[in-house]
Every structure is written in C-alpha cells, then in structure tokens.
C-alpha cells in the first residue's frame, strides 16, 4: 500500500511529497524545494535508510532547493531529474533563484531520465512522462494510480510558460498528452490542492473541454 503525504515548503509554498511503501520498506520525495523540519522528522521516523529517490519534476529553485542538503544528509539517496533540465541544478538563471536574490545549493543529479523511462520502487514501477512547457525538461511521475505533475498541471490551470526554456506550444501538447491517459488518475500538483484527471478533463481550459463561460 502506497502512502502519500504533502508538505508545502518555502516562500512559494511548493508541494513536496513524501511517498512511502510500508510493506516493502521504501520511500521517496518529490520536489523538496526547501527545508522542512516536519518532513525530515517524517523521513527519519519511517527510516532514513529507506529513502530511495528524490524525484524532481523540473529544475526551478522552489522544487529543487533542498535536494543538495538532503543528499548530504542521506548520501545513499538518488536524485532524479530529466536530462533536459539537468543544467538547472547548477545554473541560477535557469532555476530562477537569481531573480529572488539568492543562489541555489548546486548539485549534480544521480539519475537523468527521459520520456518512457521507469524506476523500480519496491514491487512497483515509477513511469516517467515527459511534459515540457513550463520548462523544456518538465516531467510527470506516475506511480500506480497517482501522477505527480509538478507545475505542468495544477487544479484548473497550468504552470507559467514565459520562463527560460518554457513554451506554450509544448505545454498544450503536454496537457493533451496527459488528457489522453484513459484512467482517472489522482493528480498531486506542484502548488495548491490535489485534483483528478477526470476533473481536469472537464474543468481545465487547457484541456479544451470547457468554455470561457464555464470559468465564471
């Protein structure tokens, strides 16, 4: 049984997810953008040695900001990011930290992924779905009936497309790609509340199935 807990972190309150499998004794993090005492207490209470991955949906500082510190603290964990966003981890203009008057804690990811790649997690598989648009290397991670969407899809909206390497054409293609998934997946978004794919198909204007008047 997979458990998922949300810890909003940092100045932009990005969602960091602690994902765990009690039966198989493994855990992972998605997008640890800033330090969280509560989150680290949870990692340690479950078992620091059980932390297998830090999955990064994209390279912006509010999603990667605590990855380097966690790697120093838990050296056996593998940091995962897409190949196309790998340079964000050492480039403060790309990861946007420079625009907030700071510098990110630089690191090099352990595993670079591309569309269609899979990672072992206990007896389950994590599937990588490339979803460029917010950044060139934005990805979603699917684990069973759960999809971690980062800033690609948030409830009834999408992430911004005007940052470096962003593209509106790629974003709408990515959203269409997610809309074509036949199942009703639970969506764990990079900011704000969670959602469901069926709900987004019906209400997210980027998926093309609602009218302007539906928004008011």
**Are 45 and 79 a contacting pair, CB within 8 Å?**
no
CATH class (in words) of the domain with range 2-208? alpha beta
Buried b / exposed e over 33-48, threshold 16 CB at 10 Å, is bbebeebbebbeebee
Handedness of CA 91, 94, 99, 104 (dihedral sign): negative
Q: Which residue carries 């009703």 as its tokens?
A: 184
Domain ranges for the chain: 2-208
How crowded is residue 186: how many other Cβ atoms within 10 Å of its Cβ? 15
The model's pTM is: 0.95
**Are 206 and 214 a contacting pair, CB within 8 Å?**
no
Q: Torsion over CA of 79, 98, 43 and 189, rounded to 10 degrees? A: -80
Q: How far apart are CA 183 and CA 198, in angstroms?
A: 8
The pLDDT, as a whole number, for residue 101 is 83
Burial of 179 (0-12, 13-18, 19+ CB in 10 A): middle
Instruction: For residue 140, give the 3-state DSSP assignment.
Output: strand
The pLDDT, as a whole number, for residue 215 is 38
Instruction: For residue 168, give the 3-state DSSP assignment.
Output: helix
Buried b / exposed e over 68-90, threshold 16 CB at 10 Å, is bebbeebeebebbbbbbbbebbe
194: closest CA among 135, 147, 161, 144?
147
The pLDDT, as a whole number, for residue 73 is 97
The pLDDT, as a whole number, for residue 1 is 87
Phi, psi of 206 (to 5 degrees): -65, -20
Cross-strand partners of 15: 8
pLDDT tens string for the chain (216 positions)? 899 999 999 999 999 999 999 999 999 999 999 999 999 999 999 999 999 999 999 999 999 999 999 999 999 999 999 999 999 999 999 999 998 888 889 999 999 999 999 999 999 999 999 999 999 999 999 999 999 999 999 999 999 999 999 999 999 999 999 999 999 999 999 999 999 999 999 999 898 765 444 433
HSE-up of residue 79 (Cα within 13 Å, Cβ side): 27
Structure tokens at 142: 């699917």
């Amino acid at each position: 049984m997979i458990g998922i807990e949300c810890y909003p972190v940092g100045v932009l309150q990005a969602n960091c997810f602690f994902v765990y499998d009690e039966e198989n004794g493994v855990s992972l993090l998605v997008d640890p953008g800033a330090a969280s005492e509560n989150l680290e207490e949870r990692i340690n209470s479950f078992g620091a040695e059980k932390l297998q991955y830090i999955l990064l949906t994209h390279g912006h500082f509010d999603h990667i900001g605590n990855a380097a510190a966690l790697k120093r603290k838990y050296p056996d964990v593998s940091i995962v990011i897409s190949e196309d966003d790998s340079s964000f981890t050492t480039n403060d203009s790309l990861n946007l930290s420079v625009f907030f008057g700071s510098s990110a804690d630089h690191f090099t990811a352990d595993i670079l992924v591309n569309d269609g790649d899979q990672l072992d997690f206990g007896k389950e598989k994590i599937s990588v779905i490339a979803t460029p648009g917010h950044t060139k290397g934005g990805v979603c991670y699917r684990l069973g009936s759960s999809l971690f969407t980062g800033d690609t899809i948030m409830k009834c909206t999408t992430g911004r497309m005007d940052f470096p390497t962003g593209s509106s054409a790629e974003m709408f293609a990515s959203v269409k790609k997610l809309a074509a998934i036949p199942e009703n997946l639970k969506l764990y978004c990079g900011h704000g509340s969670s959602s469901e794919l069926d709900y987004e198909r019906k209400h997210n204007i980027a998926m093309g199935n609602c009218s302007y008047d539906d928004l008011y």
